[in-house]
Structure 1
């Protein structure tokens, strides 16, 4: 005589099933957290933290001195693949919008100067971006950076009006820069 077929759910082992469900659930939470809010509500407008130091070219930099300009602060690293991919778009954006008052600042996280210079040359971005090294990540922490790349848009009054964790797109940039940089 054959044994009756057991229900499929009785064949599932509890410990592996619990681990699988926990992993899937945690993955969903991490993905949702990294991608930001689903409802696309704007982030609250807050004053930009201080950002000062010596640029990759040896010049003195102070974000507060750029009051009256729109500043795009992009946190990147040469060892970050998505950062490398978006750098040409950021350089193109800087060239396109700089006559309207845009300044693109790259906050370079935990890189040496040679690696950054090589990346800027590869992306043909050296003349378009102001790069501020952050070798120990202290400035990035002050800005609340959780990963790279991350981009912050600072308005003419020094307030963060947009934040993009992850890669920016041409559409994201155009949608946020156009209203801030439209000719008067």
Structure 2
């Protein structure tokens, strides 16, 4: 007896057991791959109260960003990529919030991972975020230093340079109002 093949006649020759195994495997990938990322606990040691990792470098527009020089401001570090649909969805909100709250001391910086310059510029143009300060991280090294688990991910750095909060996944206006507005009041 010949083993099942997936030649010209396709799945019909594979046999019911093989088709069932493949269906179960694909179903498991879909089920577990579409779950939202776990939310870290509020007292996670890599978040609250620890000094923010260093972040500095040339920006997409040819300037320079140094997180340590932003002391006295609340800084949102948004880790994103042009190939990330949820990142594309949240950028307009983040830019709008920065425009509204920058007089109160909010600064937004994007850490762009594993991307090309043209793709990032196109994304910024498309989402109305052309004025965003973007530090490219083409190999993901800086993101690893920040403990990034996926994109989008947003870190809140307090006025004292310490991590205040972290959001894995898309931020919402409600989350920003609950987490950022109180930091700007004081």
TM-score, normalised via structure 2 length: 0.78
**How many residue pairs get matched?**
160
Aligned-partner SS, 2:180: helix
Q: 1:93 aligns with which of 94, 97, 115?
A: 97
Q: Which residue of 2 aligns with 1:119?
A: 123
Is the counterpart of residue 27 in structure 1 residue 23 in structure 2?
no
Q: 2:86 aligns with which of 82, 85, 88?
A: 82
Deviation string 1:43-65 (CA, Å, 9 cap, x unpaired) is: 43211000010000111111001
> 1:89 Cα shift?
0.4
Change in Cα spacing, 1:61 to 1:42, as seen in structure 2 (3 Å) is same
CA root-mean-square deviation: 2.3
CA contact under 8 A between 2:42 and 2:165: conserved in structure 1? no
Is the counterpart of residue 145 in structure 1 residue 152 in structure 2?
no
CA contact under 8 A between 1:42 and 1:162: conserved in structure 2? no
Q: 1:136 aligns with which of 131, 136, 139?
A: 139
Map 1:159-174 → 2, pairs under 5 A: 159-174=162-177
> 1:27 Cα shift?
3.3
**Off by >2 Å, runs of 4+ in structure 1:** 40-45
Q: Which residue of 2 aligns with 1:36?
A: 39
> 1:149 Cα shift?
0.3
**Structure 2 residues not aligned, in runs of 5+:** 1-20
TM-score, normalised via structure 1 length: 0.79
Change in Cα spacing, 1:135 to 1:144, as seen in structure 2 (3 Å) is same
Change in Cα spacing, 1:144 to 1:126, as seen in structure 2 (3 Å) is same
Q: 2:49 aligns with which of 45, 69, 75?
A: 45
> 1:42 Cα shift?
4.6
Aligned-partner SS, 1:164: strand
Tell me, in whole angstroms, the C-alpha distance in 2 between the residues paired with 1:172 and 1:124.
21
Q: Which residue of 2 aligns with 1:60?
A: 64
> 1:144 Cα shift?
0.3
> 1:72 Cα shift?
0.1
